Structures are given as C-alpha cells and as structure tokens.
Amino acid sequence: MLILYHFPNPLLGANLQSAGLQQECLSTPQAFRAEGPFPFKLQHLKKVFPESGEFHFRLKIPHPVSTNQYAWKDLVDDNEVLSSSKRDSFELKVLPINISESDSSYDCESPVSKNQELPESSMNIDLAEINSQLDDMGIQSEASELMSEPLGSPHSAFTRIEEKVSDSNTPGSSNFGDDVLSGSDSDNGSDFEMNELEKEDEASRYELQQQRLREQFRKEKRQETSKGIFGSGGKSIGSSVGGFFKSATKAAANLAKEVSEQHGVNLGVLGKNSAPSSRQRETLKRIRSQLGTKFSCENIDHLELLKRVWSKSFPEEDFLVCAPQWQLLGFNVDRVEEDKMVEATGVLGIRCLTRFAQDYSGDISHCLAESLPLAQVLLRCVHVLSKHIGIVDGSFQRSRKKYWEIFNDQAVFSRINSITVHIALMERKVDSSLSVKDMVRRAVGQTKHVLDEGPKDIEEFKHIATALGIQI
C-alpha cells in the first residue's frame, strides 16, 4: 500500500503570496509503503510514519458537494479506517505539532533558510510541478539539468534555483541572474545597491527582493536565454515535458502488452474515442426515458417488475405492494414508489434492481442476513453511473468516448449496474466500516476504469474487469 504525504511549503507560499496569488502551498508529495495490518487505521499510520515528531494528519477525500474537487478531512480518531486493502493508496497533509530540533526543517512558521540542512526524502521532488507553479508567476523555466539530479526535501529545490540564478551570469550566457539579485533595471535606469537592502530588517529585504524578482520575471518570461536558468543546451521546458509524456506512454503500452499476454485482453487498444452512432444514441435515449419515467404500482408493467424482485428476495411469502419487508431490502419506506431514490431514478432504478435480483440472487440473501441497505446502494449506483455516462443531462449525444459500442444493447446498462453493485458489496465485505456512499464511490470508480478500456460488449467488460483484478 502506497501512502503519499505533504508538509506545508512556507517558501513557495511566501513566493506566491508576494506575487499576489492566494492559494494553499504544499510540498511535493513524499511516499512510503505500509504492509498493513488491514483494515489500516490511524493508529497504525502513527506507528509506521517515517518522520519523527508529533503530527496532525488530514486525509484527502472527494469533495462532498463539488464534482472533480477534493477536501481535507481531519483525522482525530485512532480507530478511523484509512484503507481496507493493500491495493489501495491515499494522500495525507501532515501538520507538525511538536518536532525535535533535528526535524526543524518541517517548521511551518518560517521559510527554510538557504544554508539549512534538510532531511533526505524517500522520493525525488516533482520538478514539473514546481516549474508549473513558477511558470504561473511568469518564469520561463527549463528543468533538464536539475531533473537529472535527485533532490532531498522540496525546499532544497528553491535553494538550488537561487544558486542557479546567481551563477547564471557567466561568459556566453545572459546576465539575467545578476540583474535579478542585485535589483538593477536597465529599462528605467534605476539602480539598487545591496547595501540598501542590508539596512532594512529581514522581512523588508525579502519583500523588496521578491518584488524585483517578479518585475524581472515578467520581462523575461517569453524570452529564451542562451543557457537558461535551470539547465544547459538551450532546451525548452516543452521538450522536457514531451520526454516525460513519451516515457509514460511507453510504460503504459508495456503494461498493456503484459496484461494482454497474461489474460488475452488487448488493454489500451480497445475502442477509440468517438461520438455514439445513431443506434447507440437511440439506445441511450430509451435508457434516459426510463430514468425520467415515474415508477407507479398502478402501472401493470411496473408492478410486474416489483413482483420479480419480491420473488427473489422473499420467495416463501406472498407479494405485498406495501410491506415492511421492502425496508429490510433497503428502501426507506414500506411503499416502494414513495421512496425518494425511486423518485430520482424512475423506472430505470427498479429495472436495474430486477436485473440484479436475477444475476446476483445470492447477494440479496447476504444483504438481508447482514441488514445491508441493498436498495440504497443499487439506486445510488444507478444515479452516479447514469450521470457519468451523460444520461442524466443528455450530454452523451455530443460526448466522445471509447465505450459507446457496448450500448448497442439496451439491457447493458442494468447489467453494468448489477456488476457495480456486486463490487460495492465485495468492498463492504473487506471493510465493514464503509458507508453506502463510500461503497458506491469505490465500486463506480472501478467500473469507470473498465469502461475507459472501451469494451465492445458485456462479456468483454467482464473479461477486462477480471484482467484488472476486479472481483465480479
């Protein structure tokens, strides 16, 4: 299990704030591996955390309201579960509370000094991230030289950047470094001497120096120097980043090839991003129509769906439209059509429940025995999946995806949803502390990974899921 963690980065924070940017600044993530036990709790994390001292931990979680955003959850209960499987990974923000002098490099109150000794990190700093931050401030940066040398703490990168700037006024190179550090400005004729800075206190000197840096960076951001600030040979940052992408693409291709040979699935090659065909659009429109159709027990077809669910769930009892047994299955009320989630998912939700009862009747027995709210899990999966695919808002008509071919069959949505619910129940077996929301989030995440491989039909969907190590 891989655990990523950040410390606050006061130096980068000061730089960005002085540039007028208000945002949280963390160090480049460091990492270590933990072997368990599972479920892995906060008390276990404190025992294996590689840094010495007393820390407060915050866990990175999906934002409860905003899509594609995240939030930091304060960890205060030693029994709180952080991970249930060695295949999981998670990210932490680490706030020092009480640290020894030997670990004073993690001081959050003051920037790290240039000559301060910093502890070695278990991972190299992510210079691409730093370059992106500096580029936002107007710095034309190049990373070829620094990328070849492993760094320790994230703070040391800025120390070395300052050294690069101060040493850049060499024969055959630009005098940019001296202009920045001395504060000279050839455009307006002003000349600032270092002895003037020395007369001010530390804070004033730092502020003046940062102001001059920003002014010079703005003038130089579109220009390439003969040698560059960060590297040699005049290579642009674009070429370095391009190299990263090529390496990553090659590694992904090798992994896909390895999985293909082992499981007979050509991962990474299945399907191409394209808009749905007319047939697929019609199928998705029908699914959307079911989502928007209110479920009613007065409709004979709708009532028949409910009877099929009852026969699989309570085979020895007579069918009842309004009964407490429906709450045992996970509905919030005795009458299914009055449940809020049923109102949100319409006939599609009950059709998916009927399909699940047909494909995974054993899971229904398990949920009844363990008092698991199956209906809540299933209907939430319907809602999240239909939103991801674009059925809710109709965006599927203009969306380009790999997986549209699988929607030649109208029944495939309910079958994919059944597999997703089964995955969610398997996750709950591994970690009994999972909430309904967490179960659905993990299961839908795995389903998305399979869909992104572009399966052509449900059998290929299952084959890919198995190749990726997902229990279906």
pLDDT at 360: 94
Report the C-alpha gap between 25 and 4 in whole angstroms: 16
Alpha helices by DSSP H, 222-359: 237-263, 278-292, 300-313, 325-328, 340-359
User: Tens digit of pLDDT for each residue in 130-187?
Assistant: 555 555 554 444 443 444 444 444 444 444 444 444 444 444 444 433 443 334 444 4
Confidence (pLDDT) at 262: 59
pLDDT of 91 higher than 60:
yes
What are the backbone angles phi and psi of residue 92, rounded to the nearest 5°?
-125, 150
The residues near 276 (Cβ < 8 Å, ≥ 6 apart) are 284, 396, 397, 399, 401, 404, 407
Question: pLDDT (tens digit, 9 = 90+) per residue, 6-53?
Answer: 888 665 555 555 555 555 666 677 888 888 788 888 998 998 988 888
Per-residue pLDDT at 269 exceeds 50: no
323 has pLDDT over 70: yes
**Would you mind telling me the total number of residues written for the chain in this entry?**
472
Q: What is the mean pLDDT of residues 202-221?
A: 63
pLDDT of the residue at 256: 59
If pLDDT is split at 50, 70 and 90, which confidence band does 321 have? Answer: very high
Average pLDDT over residues 214-219: 66
Q: What number of CA atoms fall less than 13 Å from residue 157's CA on the CB side?
A: 26
- How far is residue 440's CA from residue 434's CA, in Å, rounded to a whole number? 10
pLDDT tens, residue by residue, 380-430: 999 999 999 999 999 998 889 999 999 998 899 999 999 999 999 999 999
pTM (global) more than 0.85: no
Q: Which residues pair with 73 in a beta bridge?
A: 59
- Asked if residue 265 lies in contact with residue 467, where contact means CB atoms within 8 angstroms, the answer is yes
Mean pLDDT along residues 369-384:
95
Distance between CA 125 and CA 106 in Å, rounded? 16
Alpha helical stretches, state H, 314-411 = 325-328, 340-359, 361-370, 374-389
Most confident of 116-125, 250-259, 452-461: 452-461
